[in-house]
Amino acid sequence: MPTVVTNIAIVRLRSQLKVELGKFYDIRRFTSNLDTFGFNKQISINRILLVHDEAVIKIGSPWLSNAVVKGRLLHSCSKKKKGKYGQTCS
């Protein structure tokens, strides 16, 4: 039987977000100053609520100490766009 590796974390940005290893996510209003970060930059998120790594589940109260989720900021969609039903999204 093949081994299934599950790497899931729940992080806190403006809201809670479930992230998985190797996936891409659209995060609205991640930062207000993209000039500081730039594009294609590595980021680290240290507000980790839960980590599920194979058979081990760790839950923080409220955050896990010494836990970091690393990712990359690929691009921005900071311009206001018209969404469905006339809503604007930024």
Structure confidence by residue, pLDDT tens digits, 30-79 = 665 555 666 777 888 899 999 998 888 999 999 998 889 888 877 766 55
Burial of 8 (0-12, 13-18, 19+ CB in 10 A): middle
| Distant-in-sequence, close-in-space partners of 5: CB < 8 Å, separation ≥ 6 | 54
Encoded tokens for 80? 């206001």
In this prediction, residue 1 has a pLDDT band, given cuts at 50, 70 and 90, of: very low
Encoded tokens for 51? 């980590």
Beta bridge partners of 19: 9
Buried b / exposed e along 46-56 (16+ C-beta atoms within 10 A): ebbbbbbeeee
- Predicted confidence (pLDDT) at residue 87 exceeds the cutoff of 60: no
- Predicted confidence (pLDDT) at residue 84 exceeds the cutoff of 70: no
